[in-house]
Amino acid sequence: MEFSTIKERKMLAFPSMLISAAKEAGMSVPDDPDSFTEEDYPHFHVFCGVQLCRPMLSPGEHWENAKIIASIPKSVLYTMTVRGLRDLGVQGN
């Protein structure tokens, strides 16, 4: 496949790029998004894990993904699999 035929897709590379979407979705976010513990910010940790450093399938998918992840109860979040996230509607590769 030639490069010219590949559809250009955006990618978010740093946790700070997710702060606005996470806050709007109701997640607690760390003061320093580059240095936080998953125990203190479990939803933001999962959000970063599924969203960062991969091409987005659709523009702005991180806004919808943030809402879905924020809605998961903390007790369920700790046992959630990638398939479980996808079943809930989280977009991604």
Measured CA to CA in angstroms, residue 6 lies from 2, 9, 23, 62 at distances of 7, 9, 33, 22
User: What pTM does this model have?
Assistant: 0.86
Percent of the chain with pLDDT over 70: 90
Which pLDDT value is given to residue 9? 73
Paired tokens of 91: 């977009």
Alpha-helical segments (H) within the chain: 19-25, 42-51, 61-70, 74-77, 82-88
CA distance 60 to 70: 16
Q: Which of 56, 57, 33, 54 is nearest to 44 (CA)?
A: 33
Tens digits of residue pLDDT in 13-51: 899 999 999 999 999 999 999 999 999 999 999 999 999
What mean pLDDT is reported for the chain? 89
